Each structure stands twice: as C-alpha cells, then as structure tokens.
Structure 1
C-alpha cells in the first residue's frame, strides 16, 4: 500500500515527505492509520545518526486508528483508538518479570530498523527503509507488533495522546514506577521539558511535600509551578545545591535528572540527602565522582530508568484516566503542527519555543 512518510535519508538532513510503500501486517501485527505523532528528543538524536540506520522513517509517539489486525491479534480490533509505544519481545527474562522497558532485545527492536521477525515493512523503489521503535509514526500509516499497541479511551482527543507513548510515560513513570516516593517527601527535578514536567505532575499527584524544579528558562519554570512545583529554581542565578539543601533542611529524598548535562548530574547527586535516591533519565556523558564521599558514605542510590519502568498497556490508560479527572493536565505541554511543518516543529522543540510538538498527520483531525 502506498503511504506518505517523513524520510530521513542521511545524517543531519531535514526530513522529506514522500510516497513510499508499506507491507501488509503479519499475523502478530497491526496496521494503524496515524492521526498524529509527538516529536521527542530521541527522534532528534536519530536525525544526527544516533538511532536507526538510514534511510529511515522516524516517529515513536504515534496515535491512530486500527485498520487491520493479524490472525493472532486478539486484544486489538479494527476501529480501536490506540497509542503506539516502544517495542519489546514479551519473551525474555526481563519481559516475563514485568520489566518490558529492559527487554534484552531493546536496542535491536527499537533502533535496529527491522521488525521482530528481522524483516522490513517499509520500501521505496526496491530499497528497504528502517522502522523506528517498531512503529515509524511520521507517516500516514504504520505497521506495528501487537506489543507496541495500547488501546485507549475513544472519548479522549486522539491527536493529543501520542506523547504518552514515550516522553510523558518516561517522566510520570519514573516517579510512579521507579522511585515510588512516599507522600510528604521531597523531590528535585532537573530540566522542565516534557519529561521533567510530566514528573512534576506525577509528584504532585502522589502528594509530595517539596517538588523542586531546576531549569534555566523562566517560562518553563512558571509552567512547572502551575503544574504543581512548590519551588522553581533558575540555575543561572544561584547555587542549586545550597538552595535545595536550605529548602529541604539537608537535601531531597529523591531526584530525577532529565538533561544529561554532566555538571547538572553531579549537582543532582550532591543535593540528595543521606540515603537519597536519584533516577538518571537524560542521555549524558562522563561524570566525575568520588565514589566514597559522594555515594558510599552517604548511602545514596543512583539508578538509570528507561521509559519510566512502565509497561505501556498498564501505565498509559492510567495516565489518561488521571487526565480525564483533571489530575494530570499534560495538554498544557503540547502545540500542534501540520505534517508538512514537521521540520519547523523539530526546530521549535530544539530552541525551546515548544515543549512537546505534535504533528497532525490525518487532516480530518486538524
């Protein structure tokens, strides 16, 4: 079947929308008409060459309507509204113990370019195109494995929901599924993009006493306070570690680091109280620590968290229900763009103009 897709053919080139071919879904797969797709930092990194092999169709925060299902798909039906999330095998030791985000085939299935059976679904003029995160949602249609697909409430605006598949899931899940903070405790969140602000909403939902957000953009810090932050610190204007220890009488119980900036990571560790725990979410580089002084003697815990330690089929419907109840207003993070303005959406995300861009692909939903 012929579809339109935003193609990235070489490193650092703008995306180009062209006609390509998509294969029929196999027995364990689903064909989805894509309504809209969020744009995530991981998409931007992939354009730089840090993702699926080129040429590729990116996009991994898709939302759409099911058009066809394979013969072994029993939990998804034609006409269902769905969100697409990350790919996992559902057969390895990690998947079978509920840690689908740590599937042993994660890199292969999400960044290798092929589907679970090691073949391609996207083609143009005899050349195969890589699939991204098992979905490639920057296209009018996508084929995805049934494990990528999450059925969602038909009564919620579908074009809004794609970012739940990655960025919003990562931020909220890191708080709710990985850190498990107790009500009345404190948390510091470094970076107030979509991931960080989702963490703010989750922390507010769980009743934390001090929710401290650190960033350098005043407009994002203001939004953080609107979403539940008790303190918003501009790290350009003060010593973050000293200020956090002052606010919390010794340091925070928990922290989430979303920026990947080495100095920010170090500050986040230093601002923990004794026995504090930090989740590293942002992709960063080398960080210099004195293990004895910074970690061992204060009993601190550092953990890496992927996709918020979430199983999408459980976590995404939960967040949608909180949204419907007015407890998780993630719609305040988004701005919609036409599909043909996808490169502008990437640019606005890069410069910080837009926190979470969503490209609307199906014109019926514009």
Structure 2
C-alpha cells in the first residue's frame, strides 16, 4: 500500500514529505493507521546514524488504529486503538524478570531492526527505506508494529496526547515512580524541563508530600514548570546550582533526575545530593561527568542509569493513562500539535524551548 512519510535523506537537510510503499503485514506484524507521532530527542540523535544508509524513517511514539493484523497475531484486532512503544524479545533473562527495556535483543529489535529475511517493509521509488525504528518508524500515515510493542488503549483517548506515553512520558514518569520512588518529605531535583523532565515533575506531584525543584534554561519552560506545581524553579545561567539546591533543601536533594545527558549537569546533580541519595540519568549524552569519588564513597551517593522508565509497558502505560484520565497526570499541558508537513516548524519550536512536546498529527 502507499502512504505518506516524513523522511530524512540528509541529517543536515530538512525532512522531506514523500509517498512511500508499505508492505502488507507478515504473520507476526500489525498494520497501524497512525494518527499522531511524538517527536523525541532520540529521533534526532538517531537521524545522524548511518549517513550513507538513506533515506531514514524515524518516529517511535506512534498512536493510532489497527488496520490489519497478521495471521499469528491474537493480542490485538482491527479497530483497536493503540499506542506503540519499544520492542523486546520477552524471553531473555532481563525480559523474564520484568526489565524489558534492558532486553538483550534490544539493539537488534529497536535500532532499525530488520525482518528475519531482511525483506524491506518500506520502499520509496523501489529502493529500501531504513525503517524499523523502535519496531514502528511511525513518522508515517501507516506503520508496521508487532504485538510486543503495541498497547491497546481506550478508544476515547486523544492520540496526540497518548502517543508520547510510548517513550518520553513513560521515561520521565517511570524514572520517578519505578526507580527513584520518593516519599513524603523528599526533595526531588529535576534537571531539564522538557517533555521527560515535565512528565517526571507531574509524576512526582501524584505522590503526597514530595517537594520539587526544576532546573531549566528556557524561560517558557521554567514558567510552565511553575504552573505545573514545581516548588522551586531555577535558571542555571550564572548560578551555582549545586549550592542553590543544597540551600533550598537544607542540605541536599534526596532524589534527582538528569534528563539533559550533559556530563557537567549530571555532576552538578550529584554534587547537590544529600547523604545516601541517588541521581538517575536518562539523557542520551556522551562524555564523562567530573564526579568526586570521595564524595560518592564517604556520603554513599549513587548514580544510576535508566531506560524507558524501567517500565513494563503493558502494565505501566495503562497505569499512567489511568492517572491521566483521573486528572492526576495532566500531560496534555505539555503537548503542541503540528501537521506532519510542518515538522521543521515543530523542530524549531522545540529547539527554541517554546514547545515542550511537539506531536505530529496525521
């Protein structure tokens, strides 16, 4: 079948809107008519991978309606409304112990994973498109997914809001609810007020008595963090952030989350922790943070990585959707809709900090 897709032919050039051919679903595949696709930093990072293997079809926060299923698919049916998330094998030791984000086949399944026989799912002008991103490549009018990364949701759900539960919102909320688990009286410092950090803030607000600090460079996002209930909002420009956090909290944060992936920011978050506290890092950056090992040892501090909120999507996404449905997790405040053809405007607004979570609509 033919559909419209947003392709990257050159990481230094604008995305292009093109007509592509999509193969029919194989026995284990699910054809989804995409209604909304969240734009995540991970899409942009992976846009530059494989410069000679073009074009690339990204998108890993898709939401839509099942159009058709393969003969072996029983978990979903045509007409189901779904959110697409990351793939996992379901059988390796990590999957078997409830940690599918750390699936031992994750790279093969999610990093432009191919079919077993290497046949193309998507072509343009008869040439293969590099797809299979997070098992969906949902920057398109239709996408092929599988049962392990397809979550059925309420048909009344707004696809533009629920799409980002597949990755960004799941990551931020999961880092707080599944990993850090602050309780009443805790101080949580969040570094970065983008979609992941804002979802983390909203998740923390569902726990009575947790106090929050958001550190963010963009004025518009600082203002939004205040509106969403942050107890303190800090501009890191020209500020000793570690000192400011220690002063506000009376000795240091009990929990911290770094969403930036910037080594110096992670080091600041670590320095601002109180004794025995933990900072979780979710940002896909690079480099080595300047950490004082004596501080780590003598104060028993911890740095911990976290993928996809350490979540089991089949359980956690419905839980988050329940919180959202009850008005306890108002992530709709974070979403700005853009027609898929306006992806460059969406990226510009995201880069400027005037938009938190841009979502393409189809």
Q: CA deviation at 1:158?
A: 2.1
CA distance in 2, matches of 1:85, 1:315: 11
- Counterpart for residue 271 of structure 2: 270
Does the Cα contact within 8 Å between 2:183 and 2:210 map onto a contact in 1?
no
Q: Are 2:4 and 1:14 equivalent residues in the alignment?
A: no
Give the alignment's Cα RMSD to 1 decimal. 1.7
Does the Cα contact within 8 Å between 1:168 and 1:194 map onto a contact in 2?
yes
CA 1:165–1:340: 2 relative to 1, 3 Å = same
CA distance in 1, matches of 2:291, 2:202: 33
Q: How does 1:15-94 map to 2 (within 5 A)?
A: 15-49=15-49, 53-94=53-94
Q: CA deviation at 1:288?
A: 4.2
Q: How does 1:47-196 map to 2 (within 5 A)?
A: 47-49=47-49, 53-115=53-115, 118-131=118-131, 132-196=133-197
* More deviation, 44-53/183-192: 44-53
* Deviation readout 1:61-117 (Å, 9 max, x if unpaired): 110000111222222111010001111111211111111101112122111342466
CA distance in 2, matches of 1:168, 1:51: 29
CA distance in 2, matches of 1:295, 1:34: 46
CA distance in 2, matches of 1:308, 1:52: 32
* More deviation, 297-306/217-226: 217-226
Does the Cα contact within 8 Å between 2:336 and 2:355 map onto a contact in 1?
yes
* More deviation, 173-182/46-55: 46-55
Q: CA deviation at 1:161?
A: 1.3
- Counterpart for residue 208 of structure 2: 207
* More deviation, 149-158/288-297: 288-297
Q: Secondary structure at the match of 1:63?
A: strand
CA distance in 1, matches of 2:252, 2:353: 29
Q: CA deviation at 1:52?
A: 11
* Deviation readout 1:18-47 (Å, 9 max, x if unpaired): 111111112221100001111111111222
Does the Cα contact within 8 Å between 2:182 and 2:210 map onto a contact in 1?
no
- Counterpart for residue 233 of structure 2: 232
Does the Cα contact within 8 Å between 2:256 and 2:279 map onto a contact in 1?
yes
Does the Cα contact within 8 Å between 1:113 and 1:129 map onto a contact in 2?
no
- Counterpart for residue 318 of structure 1: 319
Gaps of 5+ in 1: 362-366
CA distance in 1, matches of 2:243, 2:140: 48
Gaps of 5+ in 2: none
TM-score under structure 1 length normalisation: 0.94
Does the Cα contact within 8 Å between 1:254 and 1:277 map onto a contact in 2?
yes
Does the Cα contact within 8 Å between 1:7 and 1:58 map onto a contact in 2?
yes
